[in-house]
Amino acid sequence: QVHLVESGGGLVKPGGSLRLSCAASGFTFSDYYMTWIRQAPGKGLEWVSYIVGSGTIIYYADSVKGRFTISRDNAKNSLYLQMNSLRAEDTAVYYCARNRGPPGPLTYFEYWGQGTLVTVSS
Amino acid sequence: SYVLSQPPSVSVAPGKTATITCGGNNLGSKGVHWYQQKPGQAPVLVIYYHSDRPSGIPERFSGSTSGNTATLTISRVEAGDEADYYCQVWDSSSEVVFGGGTKLTV
């Protein structure tokens, strides 16, 4: 069955960097858009970024554009999120999720990982 | 940017019907999807494309959309349904948008 496991979270100082990983299994990874979604403590869900199966099409939320970089390695069935210039407001649980389809009315998330916590604090 | 509005909280007695709304411009023309999130857990998809249920989701969960309002209905509510519920759409100007979430208290 589909399994997504995030890793790489932790405590980082403002202005610092962190790289998150998501290991995928149970499906043909390269066939799917993959997404990062975050949730600040006690807050709602916020979409961060998604990437097409080939890695050639990428979208970012305005809140992270220019600071975060999404990427994937289909040979390793892995999704990544490089986070630079981190701010206190980036503190959140970061989830990777598998898209149902390409951007459009059928863009929803059938499968989610358990999340990894990123804390930005001095 | 596109905005989805949800009531912060809804309360319902066990065995009754819970109704959670999601408001947004011209929702009927978009695909509306709903997630359930229990404390400390990842969200779970409970309704996709307005009214379809993923396998494993009880028939007690249903969805509908008309005009600017989408509705998640939970019939015969159980204690285990207590959770946060989020609506979500895709919009060409904002990509993926989530509602602010509704805390369902049973």
The rounded percent of chain B whose pLDDT value lies above 90 is 92
Instruction: Name beta bridge partners: A61.
Output: none
The confidence score (pLDDT) of residue A26 equals: 97
Condensed to tens digits (0 to 9), the pLDDT of residues A72-122 reads 999 999 999 999 999 999 999 999 999 988 888 889 999 999 999 999 999
Contacts of A100 (CB under 8 A, 6+ apart): A106, A107, A108, A109, A110, B48
Cα of B62 to nearest chain A Cα, Å: 17
Find where tokens 């990894």 sit: A116
Partner residue opposite B43 with nearest CB, options A45, A46, A59:
A45
Partner residue opposite B98 with nearest CB, options A45, A50, A106:
A45
The angle at the Cα of A91, spanning A43 to A42, to the nearest 5 degrees, equals 20
Condensed to tens digits (0 to 9), the pLDDT of residues A23-62 reads 999 999 999 999 999 999 999 999 999 999 999 999 999 9
Question: A107 vs B48: CB contact, 8 Å cut-off?
Answer: no
The confidence score (pLDDT) of residue B92 equals: 87
Question: A59 vs B30: CB contact, 8 Å cut-off?
Answer: no
